[in-house]
Structure 1
């Protein structure tokens, strides 16, 4: 039996998964496997998986291509949108280059318009995502998921059976269970690992082309963490921080670093890279699998929804279960939906949960690291 690798080495492997995925995608492309490029947590992975396609998150977390994007897009636009468009227009993202299809959803206004321009470079299928979590919204979203399935069948000349969809649902659910088991180790106090180590696995797992390997690999890591914790290997007791807000990854990992370099430890992530994308499963014991998929994805608590009670429900649960001492919200510049929602989040955290809260606004440059360190250090010292 192969010995389980040292934990730091495993965390680094997941951190490097994005680079490894570049090679994996090229091999799949050469083998004739369809590649579907995606941007958002609302994307119903199971439908593309059911036809045997590989799905991959497209490049959007670096300021490398923002100057190129600003030739076409406004400068005062969310860096995630500019980065996404820039990687597409410059063809510097291997995932975008090899994608046979890019799928977007009508989330924020900036993304909706950006998808129109992406059609210059690639086939883009835009799903109409409702902005309200109502019965009417659920009916619309289910229709969009079925429409997406039918589009894939026509574009790639395949038939997607219900059995294939149910199998994909099961694979994704098993992956979610394993990742949830991983981040739930952070309920331990003191924490068993750092928030950055946790993030490396959560974020790196989104670049696993073969989703079926996630449960085995992640459960092995959890077993190792639990064994070492029982032996007394753990982090020093520090103020326990919950991170919420815009998607984190790449350049914005500077926020995690600022927290952990200044005396805190991130014990849970509410945003897209964390609990938000893993917390709920698709109901496998249902007659209507497409409605079950629609319900699971539509219930994600994102600031594009109005109202947005599901975000508060998850946030409140995480604050309680992870014994959180303070909440840090990361806002990307010009992300209007999250920025406007900070007032409601602050009130919820301060008044209903009785916890300290700070919001930090940033972009993909590294120029504000000093300011981030100063503000976050003062916040953690107050705790």
Structure 2
């Protein structure tokens, strides 16, 4: 990436990264590089990196294959699950097609059962994720890291050494630091870029197969943003919004667009595509690499955890650091875990942080754009 490019062009490059990497994943396969398809932020990337394999996020944010999935799965199921299964079953996702293995996790009940169906046409490995962030949960997850490592060694006939895992930890931590440096530009008021442009880079970076190259690319983007900001281009302060809740991307970007079309700016994302995925680093000084990985990943604040203190810790910190004036929680239809937890999130935001909160429920269609526009417009006007 070259600094001579205009910022809008840079952002569009990242927005198109998912499509641009279709050819790259085929080239990896042709070179004999194992490709591991994943869905969840709890997935320990470093173990796969230590094997010399590539990790790719699988298609799951469009309603294109939902109808096909509903021939097997219930209609009143989370659209993310139906989209994930549909893209796999129909072979409309190149990443799924080229994946040698799909790795799932025991998060919500819908995904766990979906993996059983998926295993009929693709090798699937399901990691055992504890439902409590306790000492017992940490012990279990550490053992699961080792079990997963041994499974990969056997399946691909490759040794995964602890030294290689340590190198991967350092590489991935460097990528996380760079991405944190990117989303921290939104602390400025007014913000130097839009929340949608920030999202394009965060989401697009998940389709970069060589994690070692991410810091240099992202640092260039950050420097260009700062250079552009230093020119003193006139910007307007806008109501500052934090988005939390279910994973967003693809079809659910409609929420970001509505918020920013109505005069506000999304300054930070707490959910999986944003801060939640890159806020914590793996302890590079911990002698036990499996314990270090288990600690880092188990601290992710997802609603599948009971209780879920890390989510509120991150939410509170982001609200303070980014001068957030309103919180929008995006909940996918039939996502029971996030839906049930939304009451506690609402109370935390309104009673402890003393700022407005709104919850919107949506799916991957465009049928509710008008309704979303009406509700979010009223919320922003109130701010």
CA offset digits 1:119-168 (Å, max 9, x no partner) = 01111000000000000000000111110000000000011111110111
Tell me if structure 1 keeps the 8 A contact 2:3–2:224.
no
Offset, 1:226? 1.1
CA pair 2-368 structure 1, distance change in 2 beyond 3 A: closer
CA offset digits 1:187-240 (Å, max 9, x no partner) = 000001000000000000001111111100000010111111122136421100
Counterpart position of 1:122: 122
Counterpart position of 2:90: 90
Counterpart position of 2:285: 285
For the aligned residue pairs, the C-alpha RMSD in angstroms reads 0.9
Counterpart position of 2:254: 254
Residue 267 of structure 1 aligns to a residue in which SS? strand
Does residue 49 in structure 1 map to residue 49 in structure 2? yes
Counterpart position of 1:147: 147
Tell me if structure 1 keeps the 8 A contact 2:259–2:377.
yes
Tell me if structure 2 keeps the 8 A contact 1:193–1:235.
no
Q: Structure 1 CA distance, aligned partners of 2:84 and 2:2?
A: 40
1:172-183 mapped onto 2 (5 Å cutoff): 172-183=172-183
Tell me if structure 1 keeps the 8 A contact 2:173–2:281.
yes
Q: Structure 2 CA distance, aligned partners of 1:314 and 1:38?
A: 24
Counterpart position of 2:4: 4
Offset, 1:346? 0.3
Q: TM-score, normalised by structure 1?
A: 0.99
1:109-258 mapped onto 2 (5 Å cutoff): 109-233=109-233, 235-258=235-258
Q: Which runs of 4+ in 1 moved over 6 A?
A: none
CA offset digits 1:17-45 (Å, max 9, x no partner) = 00011110000001110000000000000
CA pair 290-233 structure 1, distance change in 2 beyond 3 A: farther
Offset, 1:334? 0.2
1:334-345 mapped onto 2 (5 Å cutoff): 334-345=334-345
Residue 60 of structure 1 aligns to a residue in which SS? coil
CA pair 8-2 structure 1, distance change in 2 beyond 3 A: closer
CA offset digits 1:287-319 (Å, max 9, x no partner) = 111100110000000000000000000000000
List alignment gaps of at least 5 residues for structure 1.
none
Tell me if structure 2 keeps the 8 A contact 1:70–1:82.
yes
Q: How many residues align?
A: 383
Q: Structure 1 CA distance, aligned partners of 2:40 and 2:138?
A: 18
Tell me if structure 2 keeps the 8 A contact 1:328–1:358.
yes
Q: Structure 1 CA distance, aligned partners of 2:81 and 2:302?
A: 17
1:307-318 mapped onto 2 (5 Å cutoff): 307-318=307-318
CA offset digits 1:222-260 (Å, max 9, x no partner) = 011111112213642110000000000000000000100
Q: Structure 1 CA distance, aligned partners of 2:34 and 2:236?
A: 46
CA offset digits 1:46-86 (Å, max 9, x no partner) = 00110000000000000000000000000000000000000
Offset, 1:4? 3.4
Offset, 1:87? 0.4
Residue 267 of structure 2 aligns to a residue in which SS? strand
Q: Structure 2 CA distance, aligned partners of 1:90 and 1:8?
A: 34
1:364-379 mapped onto 2 (5 Å cutoff): 364-379=364-379
Q: Structure 2 CA distance, aligned partners of 1:343 and 1:232?
A: 42
Q: Structure 2 CA distance, aligned partners of 1:2 and 1:161?
A: 36
Residue 358 of structure 1 aligns to a residue in which SS? strand
Q: Structure 1 CA distance, aligned partners of 2:334 and 2:145?
A: 30
Offset, 1:333? 0.1
